[in-house]
Chains A and B, each alone.
Chain A
Amino acid sequence: MSETLIKVVNLKKYFPIRGIFFTKARVKAVDGVTFDIRRGETLGLVGESGCGKTTTGRLILRLLKPTAGHVYFEGKDVFKLKGEELKKFRKSAQIILQDPYTSLNPRMTVFEIINEALEVHKMKISDKEEFIVNWLRKVGLEKHHLYRYPHEFSGGQRQRIAIVRALVINPKFVILDEPTSALDVSVQAQILNMLKDFQREMSLTYLFISHDLGIVKYMSTRIAVMYLGKIVELAPADELFEKPQHPYSQMLLASIPIPDPEYALKKPKVRVYGEPPSPINPPPGCRFHPRCEHVMEICSKEEPPFIEVERDHYVACWLYAKR
């Protein structure tokens, strides 16, 4: 269980904002994140919009070129892969995107969409039609759906097609980038359960990106909390919810509306205020310090180290670090 599949080391991605002649500024979307993903687990990545969670996912898959840092997949540096090895990596690591309305080609039938994945990765299958129909059945679609176009399907059905497309080539690792945020709750539960089942059957490793903490907790083994391009806390899922250590995690957890009206009456009050600042000019020191209740002098001067406060529980906060 605890074998490392993916190692991310000091990964950075800055996007330039171009002026007329020169680069005016750079958006520090991801600014030095380090973590590992263990084989068979689901690592949840949570944070608010613009915190860099999607960019992190895309960097791991080498869909973007990093400004600095490394990603190791089964020990190999992903950004140095070439030729056959790169193809092998592309087959092992897949992504399921948020919006099934834009991630499927409207001019291709379901058969063509899924078959393309098989062709690209040169899967040898004797009866493709039967093979694909079997897969469609696993996600609750039928044979008569095979030659239909994406617009004929509902959002939930489209996301099922996207799931088949990602899993049909038998990957080891899948990034789920907000896979249910475009869907209604009753359909969301179907998709999440399906993803859990596939994980067990195919021993998949997931990176689950979402802003919905309830879902992240349901899906994840461990959770990483991101704020403005950095990971501020990383802990086993239950532990993070029981004893969040970083003031930002505490604020985030206190902000979730709990679907229990009796709990709402006695909910502990954590002061929630302020908005995330711009990632172009992030605050110096700890990036959360302008919104933090426990702010100390050092917080605005030096960046806090990412330290292990308890077994497997990491926090980047001066409250827990010794100088």
Chain B
Amino acid sequence: MTIFPTKKVIEVKDLHVHFYTYAGVVKAISGVSFEIYEGETFCLVGETGCGKSVTSRALTRLIESPGRIVKGRIIFYRDSGPVDIMTLSEEELREIRGREIAYIFQDPTAALDPLYTVGYQIAETMVAHRTADWREAFRKAINILKSVIMPDPERRVKNYPHELSGGMRQRVVIGVSLSNRPKLLIADEPTTNLDVTIQAQILDLLRKLKKNEQMTLLLITHNMGVVAEMCTRVAVMYAGKIVELGPVIDVFKDPRHPYTRGLLRAVPNPLGKVERLESIPGTVPNLIYPPPGCRFHPRCPYMMEVCKSKEPPMVDLGEGRKVACWLYVK
């Protein structure tokens, strides 16, 4: 099952994002590097505030003030050749956003404009990127709604967002993002606001679309179950850093970083019989004053002297697995 595709879609190198707040500088992302390959579903997983959403938004420089990308390179492999997103002008970037890299955000109600019909909003994306004129775009909108399995698409295309349920709105948002057949689709907690039976349907839809459209998917979630069912490779984030990265089956079967282990043991598996959940003591650190050394050391059961002062390097374990932990440094 584990595939190692070779063609890169995007590559992030040593990304740093800071937020300049009144309380101090929040180091939301500190040195994140990864690459996403064509056709895979890459997952960023972690708890609130670990930087997974910020990372995904930074990919097209969607970081608003007081935030700033302070360092790093983001190489996007376009059909015409690789470009560094960091060096592009705002205009060139707009060409990529919504056309080659599209987003699905968590809250479909906020993502849709209440004053326009859903058909208009799907068509608008195509017109804005000049992939269709209005007449054609409206016609295509119905097909797009069909492809996201919206019941009764001919009628729904004329509906306003408030006339649809949460699940249907998320289908529309997915439709909008797919309208230009993007190379990379970034889904940021696409099912967090939805009920489980609706979540299952949306995940199923994403899986189908990915297969039919040969899309690459970056999925951001905090739900380990969603990771297990959807992803090819996973990166676990903690306090603004990637602590472990690898093929999803291997990481779940044999997690190496103490945080990954803790996280997996803290989620009750509804199929298994668990007498007692293991919890990770303490809480996520404040990123204005992150702990020195390894950011997980105050909560880590395997903490050593070196962890308190020196940041662990990313150790390559082979077979596509990496871990940032002193336990694996020889």
Contacts and interface: CB of A to CB of B under 8 A. Distances in A.
Partners in one complex: yes
Interface of A: 48-49, 154, 156-157, 184-190, 192-193, 196, 211, 213-215, 217-218, 238, 241, 251-265, 267, 272-273, 275-276
Nearest to A260: B228
Interface stretch (B27-35, B218-226, B321-329): B218-226
A184 B284 contact: yes
A259 B248 CA distance: 10
Contact of A214 (B47, B268, B280, B284): B268
Nearest to A274: B197
Interface residues of B, number: 48
A314 to B, nearest CB: 21
Given A184-B284, A260-B252, A261-B249, A214 B269 contact: yes
Contacts of A217: 268, 270
A264 B262 contact: no
B266 A185 contact: yes
A223 to B, nearest CB: 11
Given A156-B283, A186-B279, A264-B228, A258 B196 contact: no
Given A154-B283, A272-B200, 16 more contacts: A184-B222, A186-B47, A189-B265, A190-B280, A190-B281, A193-B279, A214-B225, A218-B277, A238-B273, A258-B228, A258-B270, A259-B252, A259-B264, A264-B229, A275-B165, A275-B197
Contacts of A214: 225, 267-270
Contacts of A258: 225, 228-229, 269-271
Most chain B beta-carbon contacts within 10 A, residue among A49, A157, A185, A189? A185
Nearest to A188: B266
B227 interface: yes
**Which 6 residue pairs are nearest across A and B when measured between Cβ atoms?**
A257-B225, A189-B279, A255-B200, A48-B195, A259-B224, A186-B280
A123 B128 CA distance: 68
Most chain B beta-carbon contacts within 10 A, residue among A217, A251, A260? A260
Interface of B: 1, 47-48, 165, 167-168, 195-201, 203-204, 222-229, 231, 248-249, 252-253, 262-271, 273-274, 276-281, 283-284
Contacts of A184: 47-48, 222, 284
A259 B283 contact: no
A211 B280 contact: no
B167 A275 contact: yes
Contacts of A157: 283
B225 A186 contact: no
Contacts of B268: 214-215, 217-218
Contacts of A49: 195
7 contacts: A154-B283, A255-B200, A259-B264, A261-B252, A262-B253, A275-B167, A275-B197
Given A255-B200, A256-B196, A259-B228, A185 B267 contact: yes
B221 to A, nearest CB: 9
A21 B203 CA distance: 45
Contacts of B279: 186-187, 189-190, 193
Contact of B278 (A189, A254, A259): A189
Contacts of A256: 196, 225, 270
Nearest to A218: B268
A253 B270 contact: yes
A189 B276 CA distance: 9
Nearest to B149: A273
